[in-house]
Amino acid sequence: MKIESLLEDLDSDDAARVEAAAARLAEQADSVVPTLLQGLADRRPTDELKPFIRVLRYIGPPAFDALLAAWRRKEVADWQVGHFLEVFDERSADQYAALAADPDFRKSGNGFEGLVRLRTDSEAGLRALVACFARSGFIPHKASDYARLLHDSYRPRLRSLRRDPAESPRIRRGAMAALVAGGGADALDDRDRAAVERLIRVKILDEIPSLPSSTLSGWWMAVPGASYEGVFEALGLHDRRPVTVAAGVRASEGREIQVPGPEGGSRSVGRVFVTPELDGWRLVFGSFDLLVAGDPWDGMIETVERVSVHCGQAQLFFLDDAGGSDVWMVAENGRMIRRYAAEGYPEWEGDPLPWEILAADDPDYDEAPSNAGTMGARSACGYLSVDPDAVGPDTEVRGHGWLALTEPGVGHGAFPGTLRI
């Protein structure tokens, strides 16, 4: 039977006829796959692609190779390849590993997605993981998922690679990064942990700080550098240790983890970064949900007032451009002294601060309340303490940053993630 006729049968409403056609097409893989791919250009809905996907699954590895070749020639759209690469089974495990090792970020991500789906434990998969983490640049998130999924199995082999003098320095670095991505710092041996700690101490001395941008969204707190020690007790932070700004920012933006709770349940744990002293202030970054408990609005007020009891003064900034939120608060010795909040129309409480430009003095404002100002959080932070976007080479830096945990008895090594020092 001609290929064209079998392909027509794939569009049949008769399920048995479709299955029979798919099986026959699989038997003629060498000639079928190129013809099959040529017929995909005008097919977009997922339902229309199902018969083609069935044939690719039947054919297996030869179809995998033909699909990648067509993709590289740009004969198949990216969105179609994403659908098709989800269908191959264990016969294509090594092909997924080879794709995961590809330097192209998109191709590598598709490869790791297949390895995760198949839960592939193989030397080829391990080597792809190491090669990925050995490269500079972005790491596909599925590579990190794969490192965590296979960590227990891969840890001994990765440690062996790390110590193998026959391997290149690049591969040994990749093995170390893969270990941390899968199991956190606890996955490293004593020698590597000591080396990381020494490197952190060296980098702290001349690091130029760069903080998270508030573009689109963000939140942080600020406390005076002279009294910042109180923030650890006020926020219930534990197990603090010195850290570079680069590592602290990355850690505070990372995933929370779940650990066993005191009564058989689980508890969420996150990392909190307290910056070095920057122009006289320390900033605090971390999980909003873990540091500001309960109702968000009442929680922000309670948190900034509590921190101000321990530090003398505390400021909180919250921005969400998508939701329209723009908030800043200042508290001293447990009492809110000035507060601005806007979700559309701005509202002010407390007496204006000396630096504020009042709306009543602006001719474009009519009948503005006497305490109404004109500055949102992005402008106010620079007057109140430190603008994170302005931190850089000209910022006066004293001391070093701290990385702390929101729960005791967990340890920093429990957090998997890309090693950044």
Q: Helix/strand/coil (H, E, C) string of the chain?
A: CCHHHHHHHCCCCCHHHHHHHHHHHHHCHHHHHHHHHHCCCCCCCHHHHHHHHHHHHHHCHHHHHHHHHHHHCCCCCHHHHHHHCCCCCHHHHHHHHHHHCCCCHHHHHHHHHHHHHHCCCCHHHHHHHHHHHHCCCCCCHHHHHHHHHCHHHHHHHHHHHHHCCCCCHHHHHHHHHHHHHHHCHHHCCHHHHHHHHHHHHHHHCCCCCCCCCCCCEEEEEEEEHHHCCHHHHHCCCEEEEEECHHHHHHHHCCCCEEEECCCCCEEEECEEEECCEECCEEEEECCHHHHCCCCHHHHHHHHHHHHHHHHCEEEEEEEECCCCEEEEEEEECCEEEEEEEEECEEEEEECCCCCCCEHHHCCCCCCCCCCCECCCHHHHHHHHCCCHHHCCCCCCEECCEEEEECCCCCCHHHCCCCCCC
Looking only at the bridges linking them, the beta strands covering 217-224 and 313-320 are antiparallel
Tens of pLDDT, residue by residue over 102-126, are: 999 889 999 999 999 999 999 999 9
> Residues 171-175: contacts with CB within 8 Å, 24+ apart?
171/130, 171/131, 171/134, 173/133, 173/134, 174/129, 174/130, 174/131, 174/132, 174/133, 174/134, 174/135, 175/130, 175/133
Whether the predicted pLDDT of 8 surpasses 80: no
Cα–Cα distance, 229 to 22 (Å, whole number): 69
Residue 136: what pLDDT?
A: 74
Residue 318 contacts residue 299 (beta carbons within 8 Å): no
Residue 257: what pLDDT?
A: 86
Q: Is the pTM here over 0.85, yes or no?
A: no
**Residue located via tokens 């490293």:** 188
Tell whether domain 3-188 is in CATH 1.25.10. yes
Q: pLDDT grade, residue 291 (50/70/90)? A: very high
Cα–Cα distance, 398 to 166 (Å, whole number): 43
Q: How many CA atoms are closer than 13 Å to the CA of 90, on its beta-carbon side?
A: 4
Cα–Cα distance, 403 to 232 (Å, whole number): 11
Q: pLDDT grade, residue 48 (50/70/90)? A: low
Cα–Cα distance, 121 to 126 (Å, whole number): 8
Residue 217 contacts residue 320 (beta carbons within 8 Å): yes
Q: pLDDT grade, residue 396 (50/70/90)? A: very high
Q: How does the average pLDDT of the chain come out, rounded?
A: 87
Residue 205: what pLDDT?
A: 84
Cα–Cα distance, 81 to 117 (Å, whole number): 16
Every domain of the chain with CATH number 1.25.10 lies at 3-188
Q: pLDDT grade, residue 21 (50/70/90)? A: confident
Whether the predicted pLDDT of 369 surpasses 70: no
Cα distance from N-terminal residue to C-terminal residue, the chain: 63
Tens of pLDDT, residue by residue over 178-198, are: 998 888 877 888 899 888 888
Task: For residues 350-362, give the mean pLDDT.
Answer: 80
Close Cβ partners of 85 (under 8 Å, ≥ 6 residues apart) = 64, 67, 99, 110, 113, 114
Close Cβ partners of 134 (under 8 Å, ≥ 6 residues apart) = 170, 171, 173, 174, 177
Please list the residues that pair with 317 across neighbouring strands: 220, 328
Task: Please state, in angstroms and as integers, the Cα–Cα distance from residue 247 to each residue in 109, 194, 252, 374, 408, following that order.
Answer: 24, 16, 9, 35, 21
Residue 364: what pLDDT?
A: 61
Residues of the chain with pLDDT > 90: what percent? 49
